[in-house]
Structure 1
Amino acid sequence: MKKNHYGLLISSLYFNYIFQGMAAILLSQNMTNLRLHWQATTSQVTLVMSAIGLGRILSLYFSGYFSDKFGRKKTVLIAIISYMIFFSGMLLSPNYQLAFFLAMFGGISNAFLDTSTYPTLVEAYPDERINSSLSVLNKAFISLGQFLLPFITRYLLQHDLFFGWPFILCALCLFANMFYLMFARFPRSTTIIEKETQDIIQITSKNRGNFKIDGIALLVFSFVSVSLFNIFILWIPQYAENMRIVSHENSLIFVSLYSTGSFISVFFTSGIVKKGINIPKFISSCLVISGLTLISMLIHPNFVTVVIAAICIGIFTAGGIWQLGLALMLELFPKHKGKCTSYYSLATSVSIMVTPYITGLLSEQKITYVFWFIIVLNVIGLVASLIISYRYDKLVKQLVLN
């Protein structure tokens, strides 16, 4: 198989993630307009936002099963249709109750998109170095969507234009992409090959890891890695302000530094993975660096340490190590890629729902408790990554000997 055989297909799948990035912040960016549009309170609008996470959790297991059973193409088409329902539904809903129901399609589409795209990458490019590199690049398209949307929103506000244009634009772009994907040729999934050639599947798609050890360690890592940068980006402005490092207005500079580090790191991580670096050891190294910078920031809270921490968290936790963990999951458990992607993403969804509440309680006591909590999570993630690294090295040695 030629390396660029599925280049256009993969580009089309990546294109969807621009709008996944936009969907994650679109409601919060238009909270005032949506509150007026639905005649709702602020808490009711935030309730609609939480429905996205609910929809993701409810559909993750089924989306993985559907992907393995019926194929990646049908799965990604369902994802796009669900996103179109989400974007158009937010504008057409006359009240927040209906919007809550339709917002769940945003979570459904997120789940179906992940459980179709990541397995397709692995099946299109079986070389572990290539598909791991491509999985990391996915993060760049999410960041691109989140980078572009604020500029679009600002333009609409400055020119007093209808706030719903981004919703319409997202739905139309996804519709156009869906039209291409309907006729695109996808690689044959492992599930189909299994039905046709049982002997080959036992050799090429036999699960190599022990899920009770390797799988659980990767699920812990999935929870931790997402928690690290989500909590950091949520609370770093308030930490900098409370520590009297900068004013409230200037505290947002740390968010920009984090975002810049994250975007640049995606391409750096992708490049070194493609060179054949040991992925588990690389993940462990990233967690060590991020932990040390956080400890330095807490022990010596000043402008320099916070800047370093913001950049390092962006580079070493938000720059693609979550995607690398997923690539390891699919490498160790290739027999049911869609289902394993569901489990891995479910750990992420639990993090997104649980950690904001926990850190909110901690911040009421003292803002530094939030960042000590991040360090605790970082240590847990490091232990999980070391377990993965140790067992992965043993697996590689066994394969070489065999």
Structure 2
Amino acid sequence: MKTKYVKTATGMYINYFLLGMVNIILASNMSSLTKQWNTDPTGISYVIAAIGFGKLLTYGISGVLSDKVGRKPLIVASAGMMAVFLVGIPLSPSYELAFVFALLAGVANSAMDAGTYPALTELFPTAPSSANVLVKAFMSLGAALLPLLITVLADHSLFYGFAFYLPAAVYALNILYLSAVSLPKKQKQPISSGQQGSPAFLSEPDMKKEGAALIIIGFTSTALFTVSQIWLPSYAQKAAGLAESASVQLLSYYSIGSLVSVLLLALLLNRWVKPVMITLLYPVITLCTLAVMLTVHEPVVLDITAFFLGFSTAGVFQITVTLMTELFWKRKGTVTGIVATASSLASILLPIATGLIAKAGGIAHIFMFDFGIAVIGTASAAFLYYRYNKLTAGSKRS
């Protein structure tokens, strides 16, 4: 990936390194936040759902703005809004105000995605899948480090809010950095072809077929890691009797699995493995992992399954976005917004649905529900794999 835009990509990856922390920061500080806002874990899951709601409300417009206004304004603005969210949550005296800040984080996330994913495909036109998967690598790294930061703060009896303020400060510095770098012009033709109409495909991709499959995968891929990030510690406490500190460490194993996965993907994609194959293989691994986790409750086994859950849910959304922009390359920002809207629906519905399941049937039922989602994702991926190979005649093209 030798390119004059590597500095630009670095700033984008820093945004996502911090977003990895943001994605688990509310769940990881659940005890402190429930006391601060006088609520319960289900209430915190609703605040997390508000982030998804903010994304849902704005992904459509963010995608259009990305195509019309450009990638950079959205990327820079998203960093600013994330910084406000991180400062605002520890200072929120009420549950209602925290909900507003969570909505803002969702708006920031939609702007970040709509600007960054198309920009990376244009920065690295010969390796778009690897470039986008590295987004997940940086997110996983951030998510792996946050529990360690929280542990250090707790061990020294420091205010939990410092875990929010530190990434907020880095976001603020990154705004200055991103403002000084340049982005390429929007791509005017498909990556692998210089002819109008994308003759790299044997027939025109169909939004109602492979497009619909990718949208479903965008939903299920987000749903699978959302459930794990919110409920994995609680499941470990209930099923295996782990202490709270030990159960939170499962999120680190989960994030390490994610990091290992995406680093492998960055090396293998477009060289030895087709991206579409990963969209099928990874949900199958998730199915097997969930089956083990639901039947064996030993702490060591939970550590291992946490790792493989992280491994098998990592990078699927990013690959989905890459395939969507490859198939429907004329409207990269718009189709990114469509897939991301499906993702944001999962971000909203899964915390709410699992919160209700937790109240009605217990934590174990949440992961049974998660297993069903994995089945749907696997079926959609199998259909996509068939359609994609039909469009490309099974070629090695990525």
Q: TM-score, normalised by structure 1?
A: 0.83
Residues in 2 aligned to 1:86 and 1:138: alpha-carbon distance in whole angstroms: 21
Aligned-pair CA distance for 1:50:
4.0
Change (3 A) 1:32 1:283: closer
* Contact 1:208-1:333 at 8 Å conserved across structures: no
Aligned-pair CA distance for 1:347:
1.3
Aligned to 1:387: 383
Q: How does 1:12-23 map to 2 (within 5 A)?
A: 12-23=11-22
Residues in 2 aligned to 1:264 and 1:224: alpha-carbon distance in whole angstroms: 21
Aligned to 1:338: 333
Change (3 A) 1:204 1:177: farther
Q: TM-score, normalised by structure 2?
A: 0.84
Question: Is 1:144 equivalent to 2:168 in the alignment?
Answer: no
Aligned to 1:79: 78
1:273 corresponds to which letter in structure 2? Answer: L
Q: Identity over the aligned pairs, expressed in percent?
A: 34
Aligned-pair CA distance for 1:345:
1.3
Aligned to 2:61: 62
Q: How does 1:150-165 map to 2 (within 5 A)?
A: 150-161=147-158, 163-165=160-162
* Contact 2:18-2:167 at 8 Å conserved across structures: yes
Residues in 1 aligned to 2:250 and 2:37: alpha-carbon distance in whole angstroms: 32
Structure 1 counterpart SS, 2:393: helix
Aligned-pair CA distance for 1:280:
1.6
Residues in 2 aligned to 1:236 and 1:104: alpha-carbon distance in whole angstroms: 24
User: Which of 1 and 2 has greater Rg?
Assistant: 1
Q: Deviations over 1:215-253 (max 9, x none)?
A: 11111111112222332444445555555x554455556
Residues in 1 aligned to 2:31 and 2:297: alpha-carbon distance in whole angstroms: 35
Question: Is 1:228 equivalent to 2:224 in the alignment?
Answer: yes
Change (3 A) 1:287 1:99: closer
Change (3 A) 1:144 1:242: closer
Q: How does 1:23-34 map to 2 (within 5 A)?
A: 23-30=22-29
Change (3 A) 1:15 1:299: closer
* Contact 1:273-1:279 at 8 Å conserved across structures: yes
Aligned to 1:275: 271
Residues in 2 aligned to 1:126 and 1:149: alpha-carbon distance in whole angstroms: 32
Aligned to 1:287: 283
Q: Out of 210, 214, 230, which is 1:214 matched to?
A: 210
Q: How does 1:39-118 map to 2 (within 5 A)?
A: 40-42=37-39, 48-90=47-89, 95-118=94-117
* Contact 2:83-2:168 at 8 Å conserved across structures: yes
CA-based RMSD of the aligned residues comes to 3.2
Aligned-pair CA distance for 1:296:
4.2
Aligned-pair CA distance for 1:27:
4.0
Question: Is 1:121 equivalent to 2:120 in the alignment?
Answer: yes
Structure 2 counterpart SS, 1:188: coil
Aligned residues: 387
Change (3 A) 1:240 1:149: closer
Q: Out of 170, 174, 188, which is 1:173 matched to?
A: 170
* Contact 2:215-2:339 at 8 Å conserved across structures: yes
Unaligned runs of 5+ in 1: none
* Contact 1:64-1:338 at 8 Å conserved across structures: yes
Q: Out of 294, 311, 316, which is 2:312 matched to?
A: 316
Unaligned runs of 5+ in 2: none
Q: Deviations over 1:115-138 (max 9, x none)?
A: 1110011111112xx210121111
Change (3 A) 1:387 1:102: same
Question: Is 1:352 equivalent to 2:344 in the alignment?
Answer: no
